[in-house]
Amino acid sequence: MLERGGYNDQNILAYFTRPTRSINHRVIAEIRTGAKYSAARAASADELVEFLATWPDVDPQTGLSLRGDELLIKAREAMIAAVHTFNSAGLHFRAELFIVTSIIAWTYLLHAYYRRETVDHRYYHTVNGVREVETTTGRAEKFWELGKCLRSNRCPLDKGTRQNLEFLLELRHEIEPRSTTRIDDAISAKLQACCINFNDTIKTLFGLQFGLERRLPLALQFMTFGADQRAVLKKAGSLPRNIETIMDAFHARLSPEEQSDPHFAYRVAFVQKTANRAGGADEAIEFIKPGSEEAAQINRVLLKEVEKPKYRPNQIVKAMKDEGYVRFAVHWHSELWRSLRAKEPAKGYGVQLSDGQWYWYETWLNRVREHCLENAAKYRPGAL
């Protein structure tokens, strides 16, 4: 532009300044005098024409450059795609699709942050005593995956957000090589937290204008459920044993405070309410002040709904007898959990409470049921 003429410094600056890159006026003068960037090759006349013809090459909603801000644009679009996919009607593996796509979104977001902060987030290896950047078979540089981004001491995310993403990564590793039954309802609080965390993070790190609220309005719910319907849904929606195990094992590593952190799992209660005034009749959402009596009442309902069932050994045995495995006794139950080392905390099958007693979770009940089914001839009437 300087060689071609016809542009003053103010004009030139307008072509290169954007929300994520602010350039000072003096840079133009330094380029003109050769004080800086003298080694950089000037664009050819054809390249200048192409640049001007395609300018402004930006996302019209955010002002992001499609080239210079590619990582940030990809991060936003990946999360938008994840939410749209999860909300799409007729899909049977929505949670799995959301997890994979949202992990891509978070990876791009953290790469954009590390690049801006000049944090080298590439992998290195040593070849013949020389440290070199690792590359793919196509000679592209290898950058950190999300897990490595989270483990960096330069990671800008709070503890609850990191734990939420670590949970989703563990779940992805579990479901990646195999199919699963639907897990949407069991992890929906984690997925909701993932969305809100992403939106908060992108606004905090890059600016309020990059939030996704305007692109992703509140979804409307078409159904209501009674107590009997919830019981049927819970029974029909039991998780595969491997998924239950890794979820319980992950939760066992967290304190009660960490588990209740909304950055780890975000839960919302929808309570049917009759409006007291005409203007409130059209409000689909009402925010309740924390600490109020109304909030306490709602919290009691939530605790009752989400408290994980716990079983003593005699209850497990009775449940199996009621299902027809009448020869299954406490002796066989004890032999089974010892052989499987089921009380190891990492397995997530149960918990020892302050009373010193061991209580089994429903995941263990399902595991015992599997065992009885596999050995039906041993435990059913008529067995030798």
Domain boundaries of the chain, sorted by first residue: 9-54, 70-252, 269-306, 313-379
Answer whether 378's CB lies under 8 Å from 325's CB: no
Q: What is the pLDDT of residue 289?
A: 66
Answer whether 239's CB lies under 8 Å from 308's CB: no
Tens digit of each residue's pLDDT (9 = 90 or more) over 46-98: 888 888 877 777 676 666 776 778 899 899 999 999 988 888 877 777 888 89
Q: Which amino acid, 166?
A: E
Could you give the CA distance from residue 346 to residue 354 in angstroms, rounded to a whole number? 19
Answer whether 265's CB lies under 8 Å from 189's CB: yes
260 DSSP 8-state letter: H
Tens digit of each residue's pLDDT (9 = 90 or more) over 134-188: 998 888 999 999 999 999 999 999 999 999 999 999 988 877 656 565 676 678 8
Nearest Cα neighbor of 342 from 234, 252, 235 is 252
Reported as half-sphere exposure (CB side, CA atoms, 13 A), residue 280 has a value of 8
φ, ψ for residue 130, nearest 5 deg: -110, 130
Choice between 29 and 107, residue whose per-residue pLDDT is larger = 107
Q: Residue 93 burial by CB count (10 A; 0-12/13-18/19+): exposed, middle or buried?
A: middle
Query: For the residues 122-132, what does the mean pLDDT come to?
Result: 90
Nearest Cα neighbor of 264 from 330, 189, 173 is 189
Confidence tier at 232 by pLDDT (50, 70, 90): very low
Tens digit of each residue's pLDDT (9 = 90 or more) over 250-285: 777 778 778 777 787 766 655 555 555 544 444 455
Choice between 305 and 243, residue whose per-residue pLDDT is larger = 243
Question: Does the pLDDT of residue 249 top 90, yes or no?
Answer: no
Question: Does the pLDDT of residue 214 top 80, yes or no?
Answer: no
Nearest Cα neighbor of 347 from 355, 357, 356, 336 is 336
Alpha helices in the chain (DSSP H): 9-16, 26-33, 45-54, 70-87, 94-116, 146-151, 159-175, 184-206, 227-236, 241-252, 256-260, 293-306, 313-322, 330-339, 362-374, 376-379
Structure tokens given for 344: 């190891």
Could you give the CA distance from residue 266 to residue 273 in angstroms, rounded to a whole number? 22
Query: For the residues 111-122, what does the mean pLDDT come to?
Result: 94
Q: What is the pLDDT of residue 314?
A: 93
Q: What is the pLDDT of residue 229?
A: 44
Choice between 352 and 384, residue whose per-residue pLDDT is larger = 352
Tens digit of each residue's pLDDT (9 = 90 or more) over 279-334: 444 445 565 666 677 766 666 655 554 556 889 999 999 999 998 899 999 999 99
Radius of gyration, CA atoms only, the chain: 28
Q: What is the pLDDT of residue 243?
A: 66
Task: Please state the pTM of the whole predicted model.
Answer: 0.60
138 DSSP 8-state letter: T
